[in-house]
Amino acid sequence: MLRRILVPIDGTDYSWRALEYACALVSLSGGSLVVMTVASGHHAQPVVAADGDCLYAQIGDEVLDSAHAMMLAKNIDCTYLLENGGNIAENILHTVQEEKCDGIVLGSRGMGVLEGLFRSSVSQVVLEGATVPVTIVK
């Protein structure tokens, strides 16, 4: 049974559904969640810089704040992480090891077949590289 689940979120409907699904799983096991977001993608550049902070960090904080507000009513033990920069899939795979998670629940972007042929989705890369069970929520 999964006791500590990593849930990467990005503010999309897919990621919120993944968080809801992960909540249901840990409520059955009495486990905990690690909710993370990555402040910038593989090719992202800061849009606005002010005092060393960029817009991506602000957006990441807003996503985590929304997740925290959602989790308050659920009485589930959660850790919140904001990762800055780098490849999103690599950050997820690294965090699952760092936080000693025994599962990952993440949302699917629903990438079409043609688009999927030309670039790998984050969920596909995580699925192929993970050493723990991965659940992809549509």
CATH code where residue 22 lies? 3.40.50.620
Domain of residue 23: give its range. Answer: 4-137
Per-residue model confidence as pLDDT tens digits over 51-107: 444 444 455 678 888 888 888 888 899 999 988 778 889 999 999 999 999 999 999
Task: Tell me the residue type at 55.
Answer: L
Q: Write b or e for each residue in 31-59: b if 16 or more Cβ atoms lie within 10 A of its Cβ, otherwise e.
A: bebbbbbbbbeeeeeeeeeeeeebebbeb
Number of domains in the chain: 1
Pairing of β 49-50 and β 134-137: unpaired
pLDDT over 60 at 47, yes or no? no
Pairing of β 4-8 and β 103-107: parallel
